[in-house]
A and B are shown apart, each in its own frame.
Chain A
């Protein structure tokens, strides 16, 4: 699990995730991105094109971010993760593409 953060505009950040997002890595990510998420005043873009796996814990993490930022967009979601987001009824919430 690795991540990079880029500021893409005023109050907007792009977060790129790579590797596997499960219960353990989601907890680590939650802690290490605490300040970044707090700094988002506009939009948080999460690029998960290099994420090979994400379970419910990972999706729950994105949902918890969505509760704290004005808008979240999950970009370049692999089909399997996209399908899981749909199955959980979170499409409108996480704005995946």
Chain B
């Protein structure tokens, strides 16, 4: 999948959508919860208003009973009503007794101030007529909202449960201003209240309000409760959130946290994509460079190896170089076959320690030095001088070299080893390593000596010189590797090149990354010739 910065936008859009969705849901929950609480509180407040009804009904029902018993005796009625009308209680400003069926004649007894009677209705309050025509057997308190006089009053008319002759009307004065302070009660804490007489919140019927200017600020809830024959409408609003500050703050908290998370996630996504694309670019560049380097190294290595082996009658020669596992560049292994004279052939196999270009260039200089020196001296004489090669000494490298000087006439060979593994001689179904004295590797010391050992060549024999890449396996002894090689050589068949391919396949470790060089010589028998 290709990284794209479009994902940053996807993260931002998703983050904003989720955040605003959660904030809206939270705000809706907080608001509906608040509305529910407000509704509950409005009912509480309204019921507080209706709790005054018994206080009003009791004196009125008492007055009606007294009027019925005494035939509305003015003295008795006045004596009774004085308790409620005027100081000290001043519950009512006016109380009057009316005779049922004769309302038009006006009140029979009036205590306190005169009742405020509307002129246009014949001086009779409509609620008096309503009370007059009540169903018998049922007491009734009819309530008239604000009377139209100079003073704000509420009028109550009471009719007893038994069919009597009288009705009592009482009028209660309200304070001049509707502005009021609520009593310190849990029912009123934190809320604004406006109370109206009647079934609707109409400004002209406002009884009291805790704010000077209506309507109440903020979300409101309304409760309508029966109040005698009339009703009281209570409207409330909250001064502070009833559910506490948390639900109200929640949408903001969610919004802020959501925006922060969205920013964080987008930055993270951006950095991941940025890092990812950078890593991809780097990886691609590395692959390209590595492939280039590998190709250069391979061609360098091929150039360093002999491209054509000498052609000699009675001998078959073959060389093999394997760079190791794929991805491995050049190494320090090499082989060489030098026709020194018509009679002498020098087979060289060597290994410069280390890997890469450094080892390959050191190998190239050792190899060409041998090519030159071998023309003049035998191996035991030229090997000590090679240690003076600057390319080895300066880099702390060393090279192991195996020289096999083959005498084509006498069927003999002289083997000299500078720290190198012994060559393997295969003949008549057997294989053996030619053990010789091993001298110091090249590059260790200029003051050293080498001893060559001479061996007779059996007719039809094969000789293999090789580097340690052929036998080395991690965690395995050198001798185990040599033995495995020996057996692979015994079992190998076919021509020289096929044998070498089989030996390489069976001897070398499957996980080996070391490079390997093998040089092979086969003496062709007289009958094969």
Contacts and interface: CB of A to CB of B under 8 A. Distances in A.
Q: Do A and B bind each other?
A: yes
Interface of A: 23, 30, 52-53, 55-57, 59-61, 63-64, 66-67, 79-80, 83-84, 86-90, 93
Contacts of B417: 89
Given A56-B353, A89-B419, A63 B441 contact: yes
Contact of B444 (A57, A86, A90): A90
A88 B438 contact: yes
Given A88-B438, A89-B418, A56 B351 contact: yes
Given A79-B477, A89-B418, A60 B397 contact: yes
B200 to A, nearest CB: 92
A90 to B, nearest CB: 7
A21 B353 CA distance: 13
List the 6 shortest-distance A-B pairs measured between CB atoms, nearest first: A89-B438, A64-B396, A88-B419, A60-B353, A56-B353, A89-B419
B390 to A, nearest CB: 14
Interface residues of B, number: 29
A83 B478 contact: yes
Contacts of B355: 23
Interface in B336-390: 351, 353-355
A47 B235 CA distance: 96
Interface of B: 351, 353-355, 396-398, 400, 417-421, 437-441, 443-445, 468, 472, 474-479
A23 B468 CA distance: 15
Contacts of B445: 67, 93
A87 B420 CA distance: 7
Contact of B396 (A53, A61, A86): A61
Contacts of A86: 438
Given A88-B419, A89-B417, A89-B419, 12 more contacts: A57-B354, A60-B397, A60-B398, A61-B396, A63-B441, A63-B443, A63-B444, A80-B475, A83-B479, A84-B478, A86-B438, A89-B438
Nearest to B396: A64
B353 A67 contact: no
A93 B477 contact: no
A30 B395 CA distance: 11
Given A66-B444, A80-B477, A90-B440, A60 B396 contact: yes
A60 B354 contact: yes
A57 B400 CA distance: 12
Nearest to B397: A60
Nearest to B480: A80
Contacts of B438: 86-89
